[in-house]
Amino acid sequence: QVHLQESGPGLVKPSETLSLTCSVSGDSISASSYMWAWIRQPPGKGLEWIATVYYNGDSYHNPSLKTRATIYMDTSKNLFSLRLRSVTAADTAVYYCARQHFGYNVLDLWGQGTLVTVSS
Amino acid sequence: ENVLTQSPDTLSLSPGERATLSCTASDSLSKSVAWYQQKPGQAPRLLIYDASHRVAGIPARFSGSGSGTDFTLTISSLEPEDFALYYCQDRSDWTLTFGGGTKVEI
């Protein structure tokens, strides 16, 4: 059974960098059938896709986040990560990692999510 | 940028009734619309992919339809556990876009 688990600090100061990791068990992130994604949800609001990475290193980012977000993977540890620079209060959200089907581009498996609050 | 507009924002229905949720895309080249269900405090769960294909294990009362710019999620007869938030999602140009969501409430 495949399981995704987010980890990272629950509190980040404004202007600092938010770093999150998604550990994947039960499947290899190097499998070509899947991509791996980060999505966030501000409290009481809708879902926002952040970025996706493929096993070959190709990555795709939400243009609205400009160059602040970076997604990368560590195949030796079977995990992928997100870095979001220069955070503000608007980046406060529940951050989810998810498995993205390569062909249909849907998110078929999600982690439980982790709340990150940006505050001094 | 493809914008997905979901309507209505809130749907107030009773168990046993039929729910019809709409998702309209601004881009006529919309591809592979999917539908997710989210309950409070939980991650979203994929229900439908490629507009009309139900994920294994999802009850048959959930169905999806549509093409082009207009897509629909139908719940034929609401069960108590179906009262939740529903999001549509599209992919274009290697970016994922979500609709604003429809809340189905009792």
What are the C-alpha distances in Å from A58 to residues A50, A51, A81?
A: 15, 11, 14
pLDDT (0 to 100) of residue B29: 62
Closest residue on chain B to A41 (Cα)? B43
- A107 in Cβ contact with A2 (< 8 Å): no
Contact criterion met (CB < 8 Å) for A47 and B97: no
Chain Cα centroid distance, residue B63: 9
What pLDDT does B31 receive?
A: 64
pLDDT mean by block of 10 residues, chain B; 106 residues: 92 97 83 90 96 96 92 97 96 85 96
How far B59 CA lies from chain A's nearest CA (Å)? 16
Percent of chain A at pLDDT above 90?
A: 81
How far A111 CA sits from the closest chain B CA (Å)? Answer: 7
Cβ B96–A110 below 8 Å, yes or no? Answer: no
